Structure 1
Amino acid sequence: MNPGKRRGILIGGALLVVVVLVAAFFVLNSGGSTPEAATGATTVESPGALDPNSAITEYLQDFSGNNPDAAGRLTDDNAAAAVALRATRNTLNPASVTAKLTALQPAPAGAKQADGTFSVSWTLKPGQVWTYDVPFQLVQGGGKWLVHWAPSLLHPKLEAGQRLVISTAVQDTVAVADRDGKPLVVSGSGGLRPVDGNPAPLLRSALLAQVTAAAGGGFAVERVDAGGKSVERLFGKVSDAGAKPLVTSLSLAAQNAAQAAVDGYRGSAMLVAMDTGSGDILAVAQNAAAGNSPKALNGLYEPGSSFKIATSVAAVQQSGLNATSPVDCPGVATIGTRTVKNEGFELGATNLQTAFARSCNTTFGQLALGLPADGLKKAADELGLNADYEIPGLKTELGKVEPAASKDEQVEDGFGQGRIQASALGGTLMAATVASGKAITPRLWHDVDTKVVKGYSPPPASVLGEVRKMMRAVVTSGTGRAAAGAGTVFGKTGTAQFGDGKQATGWFVGYRGSVAFAVVLEDSNDSGPAVQVAATFLKPL
């Protein structure tokens, strides 16, 4: 268990004790007058506002400001309201929303209900402002005023089971195609929707939002029933012919293979694949155990021995070594003040390629100690781990590698166990850089450019030539042999311990041909399953 989780449990436990003691206090004293000490006790206020005007004003502020949870708490059906408000906002993807109170009937003394009207203006895109009035009702409960929740608060014609959608064409047309022209998202009378099978669930919001932003002459808001059938067009118009589809970098074949590979693993698994020539993001996949948040794109983890790719770049470029340079690989070694161990093996006198293929921590800890304090950071910079990009529709984090703060940390950084962090996307970019020998700009769209916030320059070709030899040896004779049946694969395994050291994240970073990839398995405690997931992904491609 990592320290942060342990602290959270301890704090949570302490709060639970306080709640139990307070509850017991009131139970024991329920028969008499309230003791003086209890008069200062705090209580949790019920949701709502003290008067009708405050209730609707605060609701409209939260609605306009895209705070669905806060707005939901001001209604008499918190959960349903928050879900519907969030879903509608994500679907319509407005540039802004303005909601203003236009009328509120005075509530007589003792009244439990009040009525009124507010207006809503959705700025959906330049020149597309949708404005309408919404009747509402306020109800009183527990001394507080709440907005009565109903779908009609989103639009007066919206009924139970219905929702709002964006549509750009009368008939079903392809709105988003993969890099080979295969449909990923279609648009029609039922609005935008993924093709059957929803092949890229993590990217669904990004794909739909880009269609909304790019829609031309065909752009309408419709209300549809529970089955997605159009009931009525409420705003705008659609095109008879349909707009030219947007082209994404994804490969439907690669995406399906990636999803099948992670779904076949019982624990939390994520996989990212990229074209080493163009930077096209070919696939982004997570299984159910990994959750719905796109951690594959922005979750940072210690990379373990997969970071030895960067350490090798530094050793070749800065220390003048090559794949055949002699090195020592003892089973246990004291390096500086750190005791470093291998996973139950020692090689003795060997060469750099063999130490890399077998993942010798003692070798790479010693190599790291011989580098300048910023030596590993320079290598990580050249592999893109500290680069930064704005990819339309995506929130991404590649990694975080800083100069070591101490010699001990420098030793640990050498095998990815210090403060080094990387995401699956970052690991993929690192592998793509080694494969291509050039700086890679990852992209999700062929129609919309990625913004380079912070770029990078790759290592020299002679350096990468040595690293490729070592990465190939991992699969032919080292820790990645399970991928040997998937073709000419180059890679590096990693097992990164965290917390108290009893748990570890499994990695396999590599490439085959023009496809670079990274597999990250949370809490797998071994890199072997990550190699198997990668092989499962590569074989059908």
Structure 2
Amino acid sequence: MRGRARRTAAAALALAATAPMLSACFEEPSAHEAVRDFLIGWQTGDYAAAARRTDGDRKVVSRALEDAKLQLDAASFRFKVTSMRRAADEVEADFDAEVDLGENNPLWEYEGKLPLHLVDGQWRVRWSPSVLHPQLREGERFAVKVTPEGRQPILDRNRDPLQEKAVLHVASVVPSNLKGGEADKLCEKLSKITGFPQDRLLSRIRSAPPNLQVPLVTFGRTKFGQLRGQLEAIPGITLSAQEQAVAPASPTQIVGTVTAVTPESEQQLGGPQRAGDTVGRAGLQKAYQEHLTGSTDTRVITVDLKTLKVTELKKWRPDRATSPVQTTLDRSHQKAADSALLGGTPGMLVAVQASTGDILAVSSTEQYNQERHALAGRFPAGTAFSIMTVEGMLRAKIDPKQKLACPVDRSVGGAAFHQEGVPAGSSPTLQANFATGCVTALAALARRIDGSELAADAAKFGIGVPWTLPLKSFSGSMKALKNDAATAKAITGQNVLVSPLSMALVAGAVASGTWRPPVLVTEPQTADPTTDAKPSKAPDPVKLDEKTVETLRAFMRSGVTAGSARAAAALGDPVHGITASASQNRKPLAWFVGWQGDVAVAVLMQSSDATAGAAVAGRFFQGLHAGM
């Protein structure tokens, strides 16, 4: 792995500083030379040179030093001599060892001793396994026991899991069952099939306790089906099926998918995950990968090869505790949203809690993505943007009861506006034009509303305000309004882009009287779970002008009772809302923006029927009542 390579290089560079340090430690040059040559040979992997400085069989010593590195799966060893004592013809050197276990595990630090004696007038390290570690004995070996903590769930607001059980297939081995070069052959074949580096698979076997099942690679259902025959043909491999809660429940694209670690993702993650683990590929599973998986419980042990007795030398608890990700999503609201969108017309629905900004449901048909489109999409607001113009109307002292013609066509500042389906010459009130979303009538207000103040009015409803979510999102944007034509286009939402999420929050602001930023995850509170950086401060709630809110509520109630949003009417608390039409890339769009009780919604449908969004909202609210 790249992390391992960097650390190995660092250890090699440190050697230049280590050797002079060793030279300065002792008064006895010949004893010093034996200590220096042994430790430098061990540190650099020149095991033959280290073995020559011992009284043991050189092949046995060289093999023991090499095995220690393999059994620990160590990226590097570093040594520092701390003291030396001599008594007659005996010398004992104390040293500090620092072993990088790789895989982003902590460094293993321990104190060792080198006993030396004279052999034919030469100082030699008195060889025994305790030279490697004071507690290592004959017939024992090192091993690293790694116990990953299970992947934690993503929960809805009621702490119900937002994932279902799925079957993963695990290829594993018991190291003690592999004789001779069988481990090398097994890893060679498995590497060719899966793409995982052969040396990493082999090191995982060599460093594991010999009598335990060692998972090497995990496969999803499809991949396992493709490779099963080849895997079964590898001697020594054990294949097992394990149920894990990794299949996302609705909203699937917000929760995100989980797959087995691939060779590519193992390289990219740079975390504790290894072949055999799972990784989030999208949505919250990806955003909170580090938090959901945390670290592993790692132990350095010795194993008696005859009795299999284990002695623990060092233990590290996970440096990052795992815990579920708590979201604001509500499964009952999600079910109602999904059901409301059944019928074949492409569209999306976002529901939020008006009093908190909590995102309750995000649903879409297959033509749209819940994150990229419902949260982060950029769509023309149409006359739904007229909600943000009401404060400007009131500043201009425009009476909601004032008659305002709704012709088929109108020009404002040279910009042409067209209204479908309205008889020429009709003169409803401003409130009625708002309720029906008359483009030509609303555009006429541009000569009386201050365009320079419209952007500030829109910002009170969160349009263009930066907020912090763990997934991609879009709060809206509008172009600079330099003349009446640009202001008229803004009032009718032709040069304003919004997302369904941003418009659901607009509806929530009218419902509660205060705009609030969106909330999707309540625990953990860290905005970026892959770093230790403090989360960005969310924008403060904005209390709206009471007169503006009162007027908007009346306008949006009439949108349901007398306007084109009548299809949204539902049981229980009255529904407030308006419809709006827009187009993007020659595709007609139909908005509904409104609320019932404390639940605010924005629905965007790909339809030429201006009431399509209102019909979906009506089914959503009815579904909520039916589920209560």
- What range is the shorter-chain TM-score in? 0.5 to 0.7
CA apart distance, 1:184:
1.4
Task: Give the direction of change, closer, same or farther, for the CA distance of 1:350–1:176 in structure 2 (3 Å limit).
Answer: same
Structure 2 residue matching 1:394: 3-state secondary structure: coil
Segment of structure 1 superposing worse, 479-488 or 359-368:
479-488
Partner residue, 2:277: none
| C-alpha distance in 1 between matches for 2:422 and 2:468 | 43
Partner residue, 1:181: 159
Cα contact 1:368–1:376 (8 A) shared by 2: no
Q: 1:311 aligns with which of 363, 377, 389?
A: 389
Task: Give the direction of change, closer, same or farther, for the CA distance of 1:129–1:482 in structure 2 (3 Å limit).
Answer: farther
Q: 1:203 aligns with which of 247, 251, 255?
A: 255
Q: Verify: 1:339 aligned to 2:416, yes or no.
A: yes
Partner residue, 2:485: 408
Q: Verify: 1:490 aligned to 2:576, yes or no.
A: yes
Task: Give the direction of change, closer, same or farther, for the CA distance of 1:237–1:274 in structure 2 (3 Å limit).
Answer: farther
Cα contact 1:492–1:508 (8 A) shared by 2: yes
Structure 2 residue matching 1:296: 3-state secondary structure: helix
Q: 1:506 aligns with which of 569, 580, 590?
A: 590
| C-alpha distance in 2 between matches for 1:128 and 1:526 | 64
Matches within 5 A, 1:223-238: none
Partner residue, 1:538: 621
CA apart distance, 1:278:
1.5
Cα contact 1:441–1:452 (8 A) shared by 2: no
Deviations 1:318-369 (A, max 9, x none): 2123533443333433333233332221473332211111222222111123
Task: Give the direction of change, closer, same or farther, for the CA distance of 1:394–1:292 in structure 2 (3 Å limit).
Answer: closer
CA apart distance, 1:296:
0.6
Partner residue, 2:337: 258
Task: Give the direction of change, closer, same or farther, for the CA distance of 1:394–1:323 in structure 2 (3 Å limit).
Answer: same
Partner residue, 2:549: 464
Cα contact 1:261–1:534 (8 A) shared by 2: yes
| C-alpha distance in 2 between matches for 1:167 and 1:284 | 32
Q: Verify: 1:246 aligned to 2:325, yes or no.
A: yes
Q: 2:453 aligns with which of 352, 366, 375?
A: 375
Deviations 1:444-466 (A, max 9, x none): 11223464465563430111110
TM-score (norm 1): 0.60
Task: Give the direction of change, closer, same or farther, for the CA distance of 1:246–1:378 in structure 2 (3 Å limit).
Answer: same
Task: Give the direction of change, closer, same or farther, for the CA distance of 1:453–1:248 in structure 2 (3 Å limit).
Answer: closer
Segment of structure 1 superposing worse, 452-461 or 306-315:
452-461
Task: Give the direction of change, closer, same or farther, for the CA distance of 1:129–1:437 in structure 2 (3 Å limit).
Answer: farther
User: Aligned partner of 2:103: which letter?
Assistant: W
CA apart distance, 1:428:
0.8
| C-alpha distance in 2 between matches for 1:288 and 1:220 | 41
Deviations 1:36-79 (A, max 9, x none): xxxxxxxxxxxxxxxxxxxxxxx979xx9xxxxxxxxxxxxxxx
Deviations 1:352-405 (A, max 9, x none): 2111112222221111232223232122111111111121x3111110023313
Q: Verify: 1:433 aligned to 2:414, yes or no.
A: no
Partner residue, 1:8: none
Cα contact 2:334–2:363 (8 A) shared by 1: yes
CA apart distance, 1:201:
2.8
Q: Verify: 1:384 aligned to 2:462, yes or no.
A: yes
Partner residue, 1:481: 566
| C-alpha distance in 2 between matches for 1:307 and 1:461 | 19
Q: 2:498 aligns with which of 418, 422, 444?
A: 422
Task: Give the direction of change, closer, same or farther, for the CA distance of 1:515–1:202 in structure 2 (3 Å limit).
Answer: same
Matches within 5 A, 1:355-370: 355-370=433-448
Cα contact 2:165–2:247 (8 A) shared by 1: no
Task: Give the direction of change, closer, same or farther, for the CA distance of 1:298–1:120 in structure 2 (3 Å limit).
Answer: farther
| C-alpha distance in 1 between matches for 2:246 and 2:609 | 35
Q: 2:103 aligns with which of 121, 130, 134?
A: 130
User: Aligned partner of 1:442: which letter?
Assistant: P
Partner residue, 2:219: none
| C-alpha distance in 2 between matches for 1:250 and 1:179 | 6
Instruction: Give the number of aligned pairs.
Output: 366
User: Aligned partner of 1:130: which letter?
Assistant: E
Task: Give the direction of change, closer, same or farther, for the CA distance of 1:452–1:129 in structure 2 (3 Å limit).
Answer: farther
User: Aligned partner of 1:540: which letter?
Assistant: G
Unmatched runs of 5 consecutive residues or more in structure 1: 1-58, 65-101, 103-118, 122-126, 133-165, 222-235
Task: Give the direction of change, closer, same or farther, for the CA distance of 1:339–1:201 in structure 2 (3 Å limit).
Answer: closer
Partner residue, 1:76: none
CA apart distance, 1:245:
3.3
Structure index of larger Rg: 2
User: Aligned partner of 2:358: which letter?
Assistant: D
User: Aligned partner of 2:331: which letter?
Assistant: L
Task: Give the direction of change, closer, same or farther, for the CA distance of 1:300–1:217 in structure 2 (3 Å limit).
Answer: closer
Partner residue, 1:37: none
Cα contact 1:468–1:490 (8 A) shared by 2: yes
Task: Give the direction of change, closer, same or farther, for the CA distance of 1:408–1:130 in structure 2 (3 Å limit).
Answer: same
TM-score (norm 2): 0.52
Cα contact 1:369–1:407 (8 A) shared by 2: yes
| C-alpha distance in 2 between matches for 1:537 and 1:359 | 22
Q: Verify: 1:519 aligned to 2:603, yes or no.
A: yes
User: Aligned partner of 1:457: which letter?
Assistant: V
Cα contact 1:302–1:421 (8 A) shared by 2: yes
Cα contact 1:200–1:285 (8 A) shared by 2: no
CA apart distance, 1:279:
1.3
CA apart distance, 1:251:
0.3
| C-alpha distance in 1 between matches for 2:244 and 2:399 | 54
| C-alpha distance in 2 between matches for 1:168 and 1:193 | 14
Matches within 5 A, 1:50-69: none
| C-alpha distance in 1 between matches for 2:102 and 2:506 | 44
Matches within 5 A, 1:4-43: none
| C-alpha distance in 2 between matches for 1:410 and 1:129 | 61
| C-alpha distance in 2 between matches for 1:120 and 1:491 | 64
Cα contact 1:492–1:509 (8 A) shared by 2: yes
Partner residue, 1:43: none
Q: Superposition RMSD on alpha carbons, in Å?
A: 3.8
Task: Give the direction of change, closer, same or farther, for the CA distance of 1:427–1:259 in structure 2 (3 Å limit).
Answer: same
Unmatched runs of 5 consecutive residues or more in structure 2: 7-44, 46-72, 76-99, 106-146, 169-241, 257-281, 299-314, 528-535
